[in-house]
Chain A
């Protein structure tokens, strides 16, 4: 059985490396994006094989799903002329490699390096595990990854929320959101699908969020699912009320970072280090941060796909910025 597992890992690694090469060397950008999504999904499988289910979930939802959508939307804005890289553009080093060189030298050597790394990893992986597990019962959660992300290293997660918000601010400063999906009326089948899937996605996202307390899951994965629900609702022809474009949308996008900073300030005022929760409140605070962060991440990701700042309220007739809901 061990050999079968090894064969599976080898096939997976070879496929990953080949896909990476194909997508980097592809002259057709659409093909490259589709390959990127496939790469992301297989990478999620690789994370699962490494036992990092949290990372796998995040990779599948954000790395493949949302990033793939962003790239596809960006491609749609490029126009057909620029989609093919045929116009004078220096061929990259990777494009000059012939498949024979790739298959003969690069894939085996990279695979062997990865295999060696993998064996190293199994020896080292117990590094901080014992420490985290021994502190788990004061962390306010039963899942070690959540304990690290939202308690022991909550500072990193706070900064991550800041990075997400900064990305959205950058996108908003570049352009105004244009109707992405509404060249024609949405197909009735798509409308039906969005009606069916929106509640399911909201429920599953809530379940994933709650599950973060004791198993792989959490705000990022739940937020990505929720934003998929929002995007599906937009595709199905729903849109946000114009009154929501201004402050409410900005507040929703910013609340994930805001709640973190507020809690950091509160713990500081209480005489602890920033984000050093009182032990009996840790569970509740983590849950509060996760719930707010999920909504905020969902709004940020969906707004990022819309590709620009929302229109001013006076000129909103044609605009379709992200819809949002507070049902989670």
Chain B
């Protein structure tokens, strides 16, 4: 294994807990807003680490730019979609979860 392969593996492994946390949050959190929060935050960081891991395997600058652009676009789209879902849910009268 070369150094870059080890770095890639470490980064990929580091991304797994974020995806796991996001999935767990999606399944277990009490209301829609919490689930959205878990999903977008965790997936963004997890994907960021995957992109970072793949950058170490890229052949040229063009590929690196494409990978970074993919991450950036997913970040923006994910945040926007989360906002839109939450906005619609709020308009439809979804209640916030509280401890009572």
Chain A interface residues toward B at CB < 8 A: 184, 187, 189-190, 193, 196-197, 200
- 8 A-B residue pairs with Cβ-Cβ distance under 8 Å, sorted by A, are A187-B84, A187-B87, A189-B83, A189-B84, A190-B80, A197-B73, A197-B77, A200-B73
Query: In the complex, what distance in Å separates the CA atom of A19 from the CA atom of B76?
Result: 28
List B52-100 residues whose CB lies under 8 Å from chain A.
Answer: 73, 76-77, 80, 83-84, 87, 91
**Of the residues B73, B80, B91, contact of A189 by C-beta under 8 Å:** B80
Smallest Cβ-Cβ distance to A193: which chain B residue = B80
**A184, A187, A189, A197 pick with most chain B CB within 10 angstroms:** A189
Query: In the complex, what distance in Å separates the CA atom of A190 from the CA atom of B84?
Result: 8
Chain B residues with CB under 8 A of A189: 80, 83-84
Chain B interface residues toward A at CB < 8 A: 73, 76-77, 80, 83-84, 87, 91
Chain B residues with CB under 8 A of A193: 76-77, 80
Specify the main secondary structure of chain B where it touches its partner: helix
Cβ B91 vs Cβ A184 within 8 A? yes
Chain A residues with CB under 8 A of B83: 187, 189
Query: In the complex, what distance in Å separates the CA atom of A189 from the CA atom of B80?
Result: 7
Specify the main secondary structure of chain A where it touches its partner: helix
Query: In the complex, what distance in Å separates the CA atom of A197 from the CA atom of B69?
Result: 12
Q: How far is the CB of A238 from chain B (nearest CB, A)?
A: 16
Q: How far is the CB of A202 from chain B (nearest CB, A)?
A: 14
Chain B residues with CB under 8 A of A196: 76
Query: In the complex, what distance in Å separates the CA atom of A190 from the CA atom of B91?
Result: 16
Q: How far is the CB of A30 from chain B (nearest CB, A)?
A: 13
Known contacts A189-B83, A190-B80, A200-B73; can you find 14 more A-B pairs with CB under 8 A? A184-B91, A187-B83, A187-B84, A187-B87, A189-B80, A189-B84, A190-B84, A193-B76, A193-B77, A193-B80, A196-B76, A197-B73, A197-B76, A197-B77
Chain A residues with CB under 8 A of B76: 193, 196-197
Chain A residues with CB under 8 A of B91: 184
Smallest Cβ-Cβ distance to A235: which chain B residue = B84
- Per CB-CB distance, the 7 closest pairs between chain A and chain B, nearest first, are A193-B80, A189-B83, A189-B80, A187-B87, A190-B84, A187-B84, A190-B80
Q: How far is the CB of A215 from chain B (nearest CB, A)?
A: 13
Q: How far is the CB of B44 from chain A (nearest CB, A)?
A: 16
Smallest Cβ-Cβ distance to A194: which chain B residue = B80
Chain A residues with CB under 8 A of B77: 193, 197
Q: How far is the CB of B72 from chain A (nearest CB, A)?
A: 10
Q: How far is the CB of B16 from chain A (nearest CB, A)?
A: 15
Smallest Cβ-Cβ distance to B79: which chain A residue = A189
Query: In the complex, what distance in Å separates the CA atom of A262 from the CA atom of B43?
Result: 49
Query: In the complex, what distance in Å separates the CA atom of A197 from the CA atom of B80?
Result: 12
Query: In the complex, what distance in Å separates the CA atom of A254 from the CA atom of B84?
Result: 35
Smallest Cβ-Cβ distance to A196: which chain B residue = B76
Query: In the complex, what distance in Å separates the CA atom of A184 from the CA atom of B90?
Result: 14
Query: In the complex, what distance in Å separates the CA atom of A200 from the CA atom of B76?
Result: 13
Query: In the complex, what distance in Å separates the CA atom of A189 from the CA atom of B84?
Result: 8
Query: In the complex, what distance in Å separates the CA atom of A190 from the CA atom of B82?
Result: 11
Q: How far is the CB of A207 from chain B (nearest CB, A)?
A: 10
Q: How far is the CB of B53 from chain A (nearest CB, A)?
A: 16
Query: In the complex, what distance in Å separates the CA atom of A196 from the CA atom of B69?
Result: 13
Chain A residues with CB under 8 A of B80: 189-190, 193
Q: How far is the CB of B34 from chain A (nearest CB, A)?
A: 20
Smallest Cβ-Cβ distance to A187: which chain B residue = B87
Query: In the complex, what distance in Å separates the CA atom of A193 from the CA atom of B80?
Result: 7
Smallest Cβ-Cβ distance to A200: which chain B residue = B73
Q: How far is the CB of A83 from chain B (nearest CB, A)?
A: 15
Chain B residues with CB under 8 A of A190: 80, 84
Query: In the complex, what distance in Å separates the CA atom of A200 from the CA atom of B77?
Result: 13
Chain A residues with CB under 8 A of B87: 187
Q: How far is the CB of B6 from chain A (nearest CB, A)?
A: 16
Smallest Cβ-Cβ distance to A183: which chain B residue = B91
